Structure 1
Amino acid sequence: MESDNKQRCQTALYEEEVLARRIGFADSQGYSGMDQFQDSQALAVLKQLHDKQLLIINSRRRNGLILYKRYHAEFAGPGSAVGGLFDLDCQRVLLVGNFSLVYPETADERQRAYALRRQWIRLTRQITDNPVPAQRAQMILNQFEQYFDSETLAKLPDEAFARLVGVLPHTIRNVRNIADREF
């Protein structure tokens, strides 16, 4: 009973944070937390994933997709394959940057997309191999800073980064606060 209440409280706080940051976000229960266009886009992506559609994150844009699984999250960057049989367990999605999906037209395109998805997973794994949580938090933030502008980065919730590298959201928040004070 107490754990249920704690979970609801954490979910409510998380949803409040997502709404405050105004990002495209949708979960499998139909909740979304952005303006109507991005809400519908996030819900459409989640539906496509659940329908086993194989898609590719548009490699011609600075964009990506954070896929929330049950206990972790994965980032699929430009050129990565998403959907098919890989992401049936996806519970939520978070659109990052100037988001766009394309359909693979050839077997070669699909193969390249699979390879790129593996590279993004390997990059995240290299970060999570670090045993120090604050360093993992700093490393994932640095990776995103290299690729996305500060406005996009500011919109992403601490929870998303935390799930990507296995730290608590407050660890991400602390690292962000330290970085903000340094500037």
Structure 2
Amino acid sequence: MLIRFNKPYGVLSQFTPEGRWHGLKDYIDLPGVYVAGRLDADSEGLLLLTDDGQQQARIAEPRFKMEKTYLVQVEGEPDEPALAQLRRGVMLNDGPTLLARAQRVECPADLWPRTPPIRERKNIPTAWIELVIREGRNRQVRRMTAAVGLPTLRLIRTAIGPYSLEGLTTGHWKEVPF
């Protein structure tokens, strides 16, 4: 069994809540499924769950290098040199990142509002970037955008390999064939 879940902001990638964060049990009541990969509580979007240990490893293990696609709202205006640096890889405190795909995109018309909303500063514009990576270090996308001078305000994972958020509203899940 494979489950696609559109994880809301404020939900951990585990079933048990901790502190101010909710757990998956508030949304998914299926015994025997486990998260394949992580998504921070302050990030939103696609989370995959499965009851198959081999499938979980194929999705979550960095050695399989399954592409992950993110929609990132950043503070500032991404210019071509910043995007090119993201594509080439940036140096983080735990070493350089692999090559990535990065492009500026428009905010999707069907994007749900985040609760709570992001902070907006009147004098600083925001923009959206689509970033595709093949690794999954702790808070990697946020650290990558910060390294090129574009702090992340909102982070939404839209796809993992062939699986996407298509047709899923925030807080809902659907079983899919694998």
TM-score normalised by L of structure 1: 0.28
Name the structure, 1 or 2, with higher relative contact order (CA <8 Å, separation 6+): 2
Q: TM-score, normalised by structure 2?
A: 0.29
More strand by share: 2
